[in-house]
Structure 1
Amino acid sequence: MESRRDIDKLVEMLTIDEKVALLAGDSMWTVPGVPRLGIRPLKVSDGPAGVRGSRIVPAAAFPAPVLLGATWDPELVKRVGHALAEEAETKGVHVVLAPTINIQRTSLGGRNFECFSEDPWLTARLAVAYVRGLQERGIGACIKHYVANDQEFERMTISVEVSERTLREVYLFPFAVAIAEADPWCVMAAYNRLGGTYCSEHPWLLTTVLREELGYPGVVMSDWFATHSTAQALRAGLDLEMPGPPQWRGEKLRDALQRGEVSEEVDRSARRILLLYERAGRLDPGPNVVEERAIDRPEHRALIREVAASGMVLLRNDGILPLDLTTYRRIAVIGPHATRPAVGGGGSAFVRSHRVISPVEALREVAPQCEFLIAEGAAIYKLIPQLEHSDVGVEGITLVLYPNPEFAGEAVATLPVPSTDFIWLGEVLPGVDATNFAARVRVLYRPTESGLYVLGASAVGQVRLFIDGELVLDNWTAPQPGRTYFGFGSAEQRAEVALEAGRTYELVAEYRKAQPGMPLAGFRFGVVHALTDAERIARAVRAAQEAELALVFAGLSPEWESEGFDRDSFDLPGSQNSLIEAVAAANPNTVVVLTAGSPVNLPWLDRVRALLLAWYAGEEVGHSVVDALTGVVEPAGRLPFTYPRRLEDTPAFLHYPGEFGRIAYCEGVFVGYRWYDARGIEPLFPFGYGSGYTEFLYRDLVLDRSILEPGETLRISCTVQNVGSRDGSEVVQLYIGFPGGSVRRPPKELRRFQRVQLAVGESRSVTFTIDSRDLAYFDEAAKLWVAPAGSYEVLVGSNARDIHLRQRFEHIQEQQWKAGERFLL
């Protein structure tokens, strides 16, 4: 089926029931085929930082999108897209539900790690690269979440109240650019409401803007369980309800057709679905299902390692970095992320990764002569940490699955598993119904210290724990509602037990799931030594005192940054701030590596010698962190958001998280650095900041004309020279300053950027081109983009507060464009 006319004929051949079936998923991750016509089913998967498939078999865990944002490198992001397409093929996936191109509006946003930036222009350029990377390799991208899904508080129902100008210039902007330049196969409508109307049934968003203004030909799907009506959503422009089985379509849609509430809309959306199937090759002969495979590709690990270091941001360095580890005999490696690093945030971005390289492991590889003193230092868990293969020795962890909830008859499968944390999203194994089954897990556990230990367990369903055959934890008889598993799981039940060092205990967990209509299943359990915060810090201080260098691996984790909830504090969780202060007092050579996807409070910043923001770096985190610390590669990242001194300084502080079911975006277009510039607030670190291991000189700014006329472009060039002692890279950032007028605008806005790699002493000319569209704001009254006449300023610098070169030009005639035209020229 190679032409639009062929698709039209195929639509005519479909029965009403077949058309209706195409407009909703038939499982958690699939859209049905039409066997009669040889149309094969289509499969989607979550994938912002790795394509996990439907069975959650291991997949490559790539750096979080916020780290991709910190690379400021579209070509590198495109390479990640290429690799993710290869990952998708191993899972039989045709569309990856990514990238997330919402804006980091508040520092507490639970999914900030999943978004590229606070800036719409940087977000747009990286979105285009990500989409092109996927789709150049034959895998579709689904940009999300359309639109203004910028917080998790009341995310399913909150109504975003935002001016049209702000919506157009900030929150819609990345979607418009990605659609115009990369043609993503799908757009996902957001959970939230906009101006009181759910995004999944918003005619202005889905039809006026997407279809009529931007000419978008692809499929609009709902977020999972975000459809709220039958006829209204379809008429508004929602093509596909996800997941399946349908709640609002299926029989309800057939009834709506019979009542005349919808008619041509069914054919319209069926045609779009078939065009998607055509792009994905689902109209051609082939297998319906591809077995999901876990392939640990060395080339993907190498890319993950390269990308991670390229996005790490050096926030502080008094000269101690890069480290020469050959000069140290004893190093303290401290913190909750030293041995159990977090590779990504939580929620739908979660990936069950291949083997994770920890910082301790990587340090031992490169410095075998060193003695490493290991101390956890602080506990940051909300739930008792799961057991992993490294905790239980050669016997490992064994999972046994039963096809019924009573453990009756023969087991379906007995499998070795990497941890005691399990989740299934619609599919467990062939022969195992995710709504109705049982599981048993066996672990042989040997404590290294005697004392009290805490066990914890939670589940979607029921779970209980036995030690040596004795029931010690019951979350089976009366499980209470909790926040686990996207809010569908039970609260964690805990129990204390006394265990002896060196003794082997048989730990068995039993899990039961009997919930028809609930395809989400999972359970988790763990064990932890019951130490106090003071005991943990004291052990860390002793290690620091005995060492010549202290490396502290601190930060957040998927339990603190995740889909489903926002952070409730600007501080690091647990006693990490006290830990870092105590370690810094005990060892004058203290370096902190921070794992986080958002800003956190840094009260100890001036008391440590260096701070490396490592984000969530993926499964090669240990290697990439050590590469950056030792200078094997440069930590080349630049902040994709403004790092505030205080939460109270942030643009959304007074208006987040909203009240009475509404959130007002009262800061308007003054998002991120625009707010700090306009208000004269000094951030802790400005947007675009990152220090690296060398220095650069900017000179010779040249504009090829001083007057910009209609239809012309302005060519801007400058020279950048590496005047430091090491090779390195710089991100040259171009901002535009606007003339005064009746419309209030930010002092400057990012419009171009370019990463340049320079050897010691090397100079390079960097060139940008802009035109009148780069000067425009949206006029709400006229419903037009307007680039006023006036005097504009070109500002070139290394971050939003470090402007090295500036020069003015005149825009001599006002230009106007209709709403969609600015992006389609």
Structure 2
Amino acid sequence: MDDRIEELLAKLDLPGKLRLISGSGMFRMAGDPALGLAEMPVSDGPSGVRGEHWDERDPSVSLPSGTAVAASWDPELLAEIGALIAHEARRKGVYAVLGPTINLHRSPLGGRHFECFSEDPVLTAEMSAAYVTSVQAHGVSACPKHYVANDSETDRFTVDIQADDRTLRELYLYPFERSVQAGAWMVMDAYNSVHGVTMTENRLLDEPLKGSWGFDGVVVSDWTAVRSTAGAAKGTDLAMPGPPMLWGAPLEEAVRKGEVPESAIDEKVRRILRFAIRVGALDGEPTPAPEFSDAQAQELVRRAAAAGMVLVRNDGVLPLAPRTEIALLGPHAALPRFMGGGSATVIPAHTTTPLEGLEAVLSVTHTPGVRLAEKLVPVPLELVTDPETGTPGLSLRYLDGDTVLDTQHRTAGNLMLFGDKKAAEAGAIEIRARLRADVAGDWQIGVGTLGEARLELDGETAISETITFEGTDPVGAILYPPQRSVTRALADGQEVEVRVTVATPPAIPGLGVVLGLTFGVTRPQRSEEEEFAAAVDAARKADAAVVVVGTTEQIESEGFDRTDLRLPGRQDELVAAVAAVNPRTIVVVNSGAPVELPWRDDVAAVLLSWFPGQEFGAALADVLTGAAEPGGRLPTTWPARIDDVPVLNTTPDNAGALRYTEGIHVGYRAWLKNEVAPAYPFGHGLGYTTWELSDLSVTGRTATVTVTNTGDRAGRQVLQAYLSREDSEVERPVRWLAGFRGVTVEPGASETVTLELPARAFEHWTETGWAVEPGAFTLHVGTSVTELPLTADIA
């Protein structure tokens, strides 16, 4: 490979080299026909492979969020998911999937918490290594991100992280180290700075990433994160997106003036050519990916969602008997969150809601009780007809004055025009549809967008306004633009001609025209008090009540951090009222990160579903009825109150610095140090059987444990091994995770489980490198960081 790379490099002049180290488009790496090098599309990928465009006409499989996947504590499951990701990438012509996101849950307020695996570096590292290995086994590159310490969203483009070397090495760098050991072909560096130097130019790219770790792949910038032309001499190899702004022509001039050595450019090109050979973009066909039918993909996502659901409380109400009549309540029962917001967003071909999933297996009475939707819901496809085609959907037109440049039939009320070339040629964009009311009453009809917008109903102007965004992060402006609406009284079956027109915004340098455009509605509904009372009444009459609560896109998303841990609206009040009239109340928490659960001891069961992907409803039905085990264990500590959280701050100081003063004491480590009990500890999770652990023995760094299923059904348990060191001369956590392994055991049977503890688990970082303190450590084995019945000394 090296000889071939040098041969190709010699054929390139300086402009040719520079073309390869910047993107050729929003999500596309440049090619070179003379070299036989194809352009290489890439795609966001933490929770599914979107492809180059946000377009419902080319849907993607929606996978469980990072927290949901990590909650399975199952690297083997990730191997299956990786094959599906590779299939989706090949189907969409994608060479690299920009994931997994392996930053840590430093604070539960982190807005992108849901996208990352865990608060623990070891669990994060092992899940990341499994992701990388499985995706790349099929010739598609993974891209662990964001290197490094990109653990919150406030001022994410400018924040300067101040963390000591030991903290960086043992916690924040370790998942990247394991990803490189697993063979990662690409790594994405972050927006933030570390110790005053932006990550696209930071010394940490040279050492340890490209130095002692030996990473020989491509370091790609986060989008627009390259900050200077001279920075091209530093560790980032590929500036995205394209066409280049700071590189390209400015970089050519800098090289010719001797300000940037051409040898630095050559090294970047070598890495990109090596990458191209690996993914099959140079004189060859990409490696064929595994085949998945729609049914096979749905089955895997359904199984993965159930495997990540964490049952944190159960008084015996679960699993539900087949003839149970339930009241299904809560705002997320019919309008759940399948995924988190931001670049992890994909558009699935179909979804199943909790209402749809549970109606298929149980007798269900449904009303939400509480509505969170101050905002409009993208108009359901079944309510609109495209006037151009007469089929369900919308007509999207690109206009230049009275001239129609292009017309598209679209099948979603929420459109994302991202780097849209047709929009760049148009002066305005128009949506037209015929809306049919399916119930009589007052309908809210409106638009969500930015700029000059007009809404016409039956030819009359209902809204004409220049809409501006009040936030600070461009992701929010694109994905969650402000909305405006009007009320119209409609009879059942009445139709309204709707036209939404928006002036095309100016192109963003390097990105092109970017516009979020929503045609939304809100159906007629009861008053707030009538709806609340109806839910309580339904709960009173049912055998059991299932309340599905959760967060919104305005609370958990890329682009901003959270300000509190409360459930929005009257959800807590609803749960308390339902529990007061039905002792068999089960609460499903549809959030990607921890929320306060003030009623948790007053309900019969609490199930954490995270953001479980497109098969939410089917997986939830499986778990609640016992068709599947709730297989999850907490990958992050769940606090009782925000005031208890030992590491919370995500806001930089006046100097722009966010100081990791807690050092190595993050997550459960900080909780143990502060001697504060959370609502539910790291690693906690219940199933539908009972267990006994015994016979811990240790030989070298290998431990064995006997695991007995003492219940009456098969189940899966996760054995967790922690280390501690009494009277250590080195500052240490009270305990730290060293290894884990899941095991499935039949009722009444026993299995001997082997836990291999890596050498790194015993090491600590010093000024001169890794070191091991002489003497014995204590090994603790159990089922959570606080449930550790077995101990042994280990050298």
TM-score scaled by length of structure 2: 0.94
Q: Per-residue displacement from partner, 1:317-371 (whole Å, max 9, x unpaired)?
A: 111100013143xx3211221112211000000011111011111222223xx2x
SS at match of 2:567: coil
Alpha-carbon separation, structure 2, partners of 1:296 and 1:444: 34
Q: Please report how far the alpha carbon of residue 700 of structure 1 lies from its aligned counterpart in structure 2 after TM superposition.
A: 0.6
Partner of 2:780: 795
- How has the CA–CA distance of structure 1 residues 238 and 340 changed in structure 2, closer, same or farther, with 3 Å as cutoff? same
Q: Per-residue displacement from partner, 1:583-608 (whole Å, max 9, x unpaired)?
A: 22233322111101111010111221
Q: Please report how far the alpha carbon of residue 259 of structure 1 lies from its aligned counterpart in structure 2 after TM superposition.
A: 1.3
Alpha-carbon separation, structure 2, partners of 1:425 and 1:701: 56
Partner of 1:189: 189
Alpha-carbon separation, structure 1, partners of 2:615 and 2:545: 22
Alpha-carbon separation, structure 2, partners of 1:653 and 1:158: 16
CA contact (8 A) 2:721 2:740 kept: yes
Partner of 1:422: 415
Alpha-carbon separation, structure 1, partners of 2:402 and 2:209: 51
Matches within 5 A, 1:622-701: 622-653=617-648, 656=651, 658-701=653-696
Code of the residue aligned with 2:354 in structure 1: it is P
CA contact (8 A) 1:652 1:665 kept: no
Alpha-carbon separation, structure 2, partners of 1:586 and 1:9: 77
Q: Please report how far the alpha carbon of residue 657 of structure 1 lies from its aligned counterpart in structure 2 after TM superposition.
A: 5.3
Q: Please report how far the alpha carbon of residue 532 of structure 1 lies from its aligned counterpart in structure 2 after TM superposition.
A: 5.0
Partner of 1:819: none
Alpha-carbon separation, structure 2, partners of 1:535 and 1:525: 28
Partner of 2:305: 308
Code of the residue aligned with 2:220 in structure 1: it is M
CA contact (8 A) 2:328 2:367 kept: yes
Of 380, 386, 393, which residue of structure 1 is paired with 2:372?
380
Code of the residue aligned with 1:377 in structure 2: it is G
- How has the CA–CA distance of structure 1 residues 131 and 480 changed in structure 2, closer, same or farther, with 3 Å as cutoff? closer
Alpha-carbon separation, structure 2, partners of 1:416 and 1:486: 23
Alpha-carbon separation, structure 2, partners of 1:485 and 1:237: 26
Work out whether 1:258 is the aligned partner of 2:259: no
Question: What's the Cα RMSD here?
Answer: 2.3
CA contact (8 A) 2:448 2:482 kept: yes
Partner of 2:744: 757
Alpha-carbon separation, structure 2, partners of 1:741 and 1:402: 69
Partner of 2:714: 727
- How has the CA–CA distance of structure 1 residues 562 and 295 changed in structure 2, closer, same or farther, with 3 Å as cutoff? farther
Alpha-carbon separation, structure 1, partners of 2:140 and 2:270: 19
SS at match of 1:751: strand
- How has the CA–CA distance of structure 1 residues 532 and 520 changed in structure 2, closer, same or farther, with 3 Å as cutoff? same
Q: Please report how far the alpha carbon of residue 447 of structure 1 lies from its aligned counterpart in structure 2 after TM superposition.
A: 5.1
Identity %: 37
Code of the residue aligned with 2:495 in structure 1: it is T
Code of the residue aligned with 1:799 in structure 2: it is S
SS at match of 2:712: coil
CA contact (8 A) 1:59 1:295 kept: no
Matches within 5 A, 1:209-228: 209-228=208-227
Alpha-carbon separation, structure 2, partners of 1:805 and 1:508: 67
Alpha-carbon separation, structure 2, partners of 1:382 and 1:74: 40
Partner of 1:504: 495
CA contact (8 A) 1:434 1:520 kept: no
CA contact (8 A) 2:324 2:543 kept: no
Alpha-carbon separation, structure 2, partners of 1:55 and 1:616: 22
Code of the residue aligned with 1:30 in structure 2: it is R
Of 727, 745, 768, which residue of structure 2 is paired with 1:783?
768
Partner of 1:603: 598
Work out whether 1:37 is the aligned partner of 2:35: yes
Work out whether 1:22 is the aligned partner of 2:17: no
Alpha-carbon separation, structure 2, partners of 1:176 and 1:258: 36
Q: Please report how far the alpha carbon of residue 230 of structure 1 lies from its aligned counterpart in structure 2 after TM superposition.
A: 1.1
Q: Please report how far the alpha carbon of residue 629 of structure 1 lies from its aligned counterpart in structure 2 after TM superposition.
A: 0.3
Matches within 5 A, 1:185-584: 185-202=185-202, 204-231=203-230, 233-263=231-261, 264-284=263-283, 297-328=294-325, 331-367=326-362, 370=363, 372-381=364-373, 383-392=375-384, 397-406=392-401, 408-409=403-404, 412-417=406-411, 419-427=412-420, 433=424, 438-446=429-437, 448-451=439-442, 453-475=443-465, 477=466, 479-482=468-471, 486-489=475-478, 492-502=482-492, 503-517=494-508, 518-528=512-522, 529=524, 532-584=527-579
Of stretches 491-500 and 350-359 in structure 1, the one that deviates more from structure 2 is 491-500
Work out whether 1:742 is the aligned partner of 2:729: yes
SS at match of 1:325: coil
- How has the CA–CA distance of structure 1 residues 392 and 541 changed in structure 2, closer, same or farther, with 3 Å as cutoff? farther
CA contact (8 A) 1:435 1:521 kept: no
- How has the CA–CA distance of structure 1 residues 500 and 545 changed in structure 2, closer, same or farther, with 3 Å as cutoff? farther
Alpha-carbon separation, structure 2, partners of 1:506 and 1:655: 47
Q: Please report how far the alpha carbon of residue 742 of structure 1 lies from its aligned counterpart in structure 2 after TM superposition.
A: 3.0
- How has the CA–CA distance of structure 1 residues 730 and 659 changed in structure 2, closer, same or farther, with 3 Å as cutoff? farther
Alpha-carbon separation, structure 2, partners of 1:542 and 1:484: 43
Q: Per-residue displacement from partner, 1:286-339 (whole Å, max 9, x unpaired)?
A: 69xx9xxx99721110000011101100011111100013143xx321122111
Q: Please report how far the alpha carbon of residue 252 of structure 1 lies from its aligned counterpart in structure 2 after TM superposition.
A: 0.9
- How has the CA–CA distance of structure 1 residues 493 and 305 changed in structure 2, closer, same or farther, with 3 Å as cutoff? closer
Q: Please report how far the alpha carbon of residue 663 of structure 1 lies from its aligned counterpart in structure 2 after TM superposition.
A: 0.7
Code of the residue aligned with 2:32 in structure 1: it is V
Alpha-carbon separation, structure 1, partners of 2:474 and 2:373: 16
SS at match of 2:343: helix
SS at match of 2:171: helix
- How has the CA–CA distance of structure 1 residues 655 and 240 changed in structure 2, closer, same or farther, with 3 Å as cutoff? closer
CA contact (8 A) 1:396 1:443 kept: no
Q: Per-residue displacement from partner, 1:43-98 (whole Å, max 9, x unpaired)?
A: 10001111011222211001111111000000101110110000001111000000
Q: Per-residue displacement from partner, 1:626-681 (whole Å, max 9, x unpaired)?
A: 10000001001000011111212223236755443111111110111111112211
Q: Per-residue displacement from partner, 1:480-521 (whole Å, max 9, x unpaired)?
A: 555686144495242331313413323332233242343322
Alpha-carbon separation, structure 1, partners of 2:555 and 2:164: 31
Of stretches 643-652 and 346-355 in structure 1, the one that deviates more from structure 2 is 643-652
CA contact (8 A) 2:779 2:792 kept: yes
Partner of 2:176: 175
Alpha-carbon separation, structure 2, partners of 1:445 and 1:546: 34
The number of aligned residues is 779
Code of the residue aligned with 1:128 in structure 2: it is A
Alpha-carbon separation, structure 1, partners of 2:398 and 2:129: 44
- How has the CA–CA distance of structure 1 residues 648 and 398 changed in structure 2, closer, same or farther, with 3 Å as cutoff? same
CA contact (8 A) 2:647 2:670 kept: no
Q: Per-residue displacement from partner, 1:793-820 (whole Å, max 9, x unpaired)?
A: 01000000000100113x3xxxxxxxxx
Alpha-carbon separation, structure 2, partners of 1:595 and 1:185: 34
Partner of 1:816: none
CA contact (8 A) 2:598 2:640 kept: no
Work out whether 1:702 is the aligned partner of 2:697: yes
SS at match of 2:776: strand
Unaligned runs of 5+ in 2: none
Partner of 2:115: 114
Alpha-carbon separation, structure 1, partners of 2:375 and 2:200: 34
CA contact (8 A) 2:399 2:426 kept: no
Alpha-carbon separation, structure 2, partners of 1:804 and 1:195: 42
- How has the CA–CA distance of structure 1 residues 382 and 669 changed in structure 2, closer, same or farther, with 3 Å as cutoff? farther
Alpha-carbon separation, structure 2, partners of 1:483 and 1:462: 20
CA contact (8 A) 2:473 2:559 kept: no
TM-score scaled by length of structure 1: 0.91
Q: Please report how far the alpha carbon of residue 772 of structure 1 lies from its aligned counterpart in structure 2 after TM superposition.
A: 4.1
Alpha-carbon separation, structure 2, partners of 1:788 and 1:482: 50
CA contact (8 A) 2:585 2:605 kept: yes
Code of the residue aligned with 1:742 in structure 2: it is E
Work out whether 1:78 is the aligned partner of 2:73: no
